[in-house]
Amino acid sequence: MIEFTSRYLGTDAKGTHTFFVISLSSCIYWFLSIKGVIYEPFRQSLGVSNAQLGVLLGVTGFVQVFGYLALGWAQDFLQIRKVIAIDLIGYGAISLSLALMPNLPFWYLVVAFACFGLFGEALYWPTIQKSTRGLSDGIHQAALFSTQEAMRGMMGLFANMVTLLLFTVAASPVIGARSAMLCYALLMILFSAIVLRSIPPDFLHERDAADPRSGRPRRSGPSLILAAARRPIVWTTGLATMAGYTAYIAATTYTLPLLQQAFGLTDGQAAVYGLINTGIFPVVSAMASGAIAKRFRSSPQWMVLLFLLCAACALPLALMPKGPGWFAPCTVITCVMALTCYAIRAVYYVPIGEYGIGNDQAATVMSVTSFLGYMPSFFAYPLFGAIIDGSGNGADAYRTVFLIILGSSIAGAVCSAIGHRLIASRRSEEER
């Protein structure tokens, strides 16, 4: 099994083992994934409104995207295992405080969600992307990233099942949400020890990279960032990711309350839908997307089709009446849109590897790309939350949400088409 997986990923046995440990560290996202299964109990456990939760998630996003620029470049010189372990411990400690201490003041929640952006995104995400990028060559990038996304999906499915179980057996919905929060906080802290033990200190030749005697030039952070920003592939990939992430936020977070408000789903029914939407769909879609992407000349070429399909789903959802007779078509289309968003997410960063960015610049390039791509994390949540709370009829507010998805999908298709041309041009130059 290991041998087959290694051939598929383009790594050796040691690299495959490291790949699995790095992928499993995505348990860091389990805490906030609770909102995708039991949104209302999670919100109530924090004691906030929809708009306030949107603000908190926006704070996370703000720290996330600007942290990419401030800290991402430094991760080309830091040991990957230490960065991941610190992220897990820091995120877990903050999560533990939210789980154990009810009725926390809003200022504390703001600080906590800012820490989520620091430990769970700004320090963590570029490191993970650099690690995955460095495990194999360009032709295996789609396999690496899509498999990793599928693993995150399978782990998310497991986490969502645990969340649903705790929600079902708990004395109240809020107690169920807090039980899940406590469980995931402890797991993160424990997994940090596995990371330190399993990832080798010289992974991606980090000792040589960090050693001033190695003869490698040490460039400043601003110069590294500017060098990355001058690459057109960074902009096309980043902007396409921005478009895809906007659609992803809506498809995985706000379709659930839509079905509850428009069609009267109970908390239990909504939890089952959330389990399928955020647990099963990512696994199926990511693996399929990676396999299909390899049949195209480049992953952006495949992403063009996915963005057009997402737009084709958003338009009828924006125009469709919200009533009992429309429950089935609305549910089917939202499911197709979610599958499409997960398929796009699986190949977000593949273009960087296909273009041929070196390991010594990978974290910086991924940081700048992620800065662009994840900007919606600090404006989309507050925007969508305000739209929903500000509407006299909650169901009608989602019309605006789907129109935003429509526009972002069209923009994503354009950026992906340009990215495909850049990769094709680069390959033609290398062949000459």
Identify the band that residue 163 occupies on the pLDDT scale cut at 50, 70 and 90.
confident
* DSSP symbols for 250-262: IIIIIHHHHHHHH
Q: Is the pLDDT of residue 215 over 50?
A: no
CA 67 remoteness from chain centre: 16
Please, are residues 214 and 202 in contact by the beta-carbon 8 Å criterion?
Answer: no
Q: Which domain holds residue 307?
A: 22-209+219-431
Residue 283 lies in a domain: yes
Identify the band that residue 86 occupies on the pLDDT scale cut at 50, 70 and 90.
very high
Q: What's the CA gap between 296 and 289, in Å, rounded?
A: 11
Please, are residues 334 and 251 in contact by the beta-carbon 8 Å criterion?
Answer: yes
Structure token digits, residue 397: 């507010």
Structure token digits, residue 288: 């399929």
Q: Is the pLDDT of residue 211 over 60?
A: no
Residue 5 lies in a domain: no
Residue 203 lies in a domain: yes
Instruction: Give 56-66 pLDDT, tens digit per residue.
Output: 988 888 888 78
Residue 10 lies in a domain: no
- Surface-to-core class of residue 129, CB atoms within 10 Å of its CB (0-12 exposed, 13-18 middle, 19+ buried): buried
Q: Kindly report the length of the chain.
A: 432
Distances (CA, A) of 192 to 88, 90, 151: 6, 10, 18
Identify the band that residue 407 occupies on the pLDDT scale cut at 50, 70 and 90.
very high
User: Which residue matches tokens 């974290």?
Assistant: 363
Identify the band that residue 184 occupies on the pLDDT scale cut at 50, 70 and 90.
very high
- Residue 62: CATH number of its domain: 1.20.1250.20
Looking at residue 2, its pLDDT comes to 67
Q: What's the CA gap between 401 and 248, in Å, rounded?
A: 12
Residue 14 lies in a domain: no
Answer with the residue of higher pLDDT: 92 or 199.
92
Instruction: Give 313-352 pLDDT, tens digit per residue.
Output: 999 988 877 667 777 888 888 889 999 999 998 888 888 8
Indicate the residue type of 192: S
Looking at residue 169, its pLDDT comes to 85
Q: What's the CA gap between 69 and 76, in Å, rounded?
A: 13
Distances (CA, A) of 104 to 27, 100, 356: 25, 10, 48
Residue 233 lies in a domain: yes
Backbone angles phi, psi at 231, to 5 degrees: -90, 120
Dihedral-angle region of residue 219 (phi above 0 means left; psi in -120 to 50 means alpha; beta otherwise): beta
Identify the band that residue 219 occupies on the pLDDT scale cut at 50, 70 and 90.
low
CA angle 396–390–268, rounded 5-degree value: 65
Instruction: Give 141-159 pLDDT, tens digit per residue.
Output: 777 888 888 888 788 778 8
Residue 258 lies in a domain: yes
Neighbours of 273 (CB within 10 A): 19
Neighbours of 21 (CB within 10 A): 18
Answer with the residue of higher pLDDT: 6 or 192.
192
User: Which residue matches tokens 């995708």?
Assistant: 36
Number of independent structural domains in the chain: 1
Angle between helices 255-263 and 267-275 in degrees, nearest 10: 150
Eight-state DSSP code of residue 73:
G
Answer with the residue of higher pLDDT: 384 or 339.
339
Average pLDDT score, the chain = 83
Number of alpha carbons in the 13 Å side-chain half-sphere of residue 164: 20
User: Which residue matches tokens 């400690």?
Assistant: 93
Residue 6 lies in a domain: no
Q: What's the CA gap between 398 and 334, in Å, rounded?
A: 12
Backbone angles phi, psi at 256, to 5 degrees: -65, -55
Helices (H) and strands (E) in the chain, counts: 22, 0
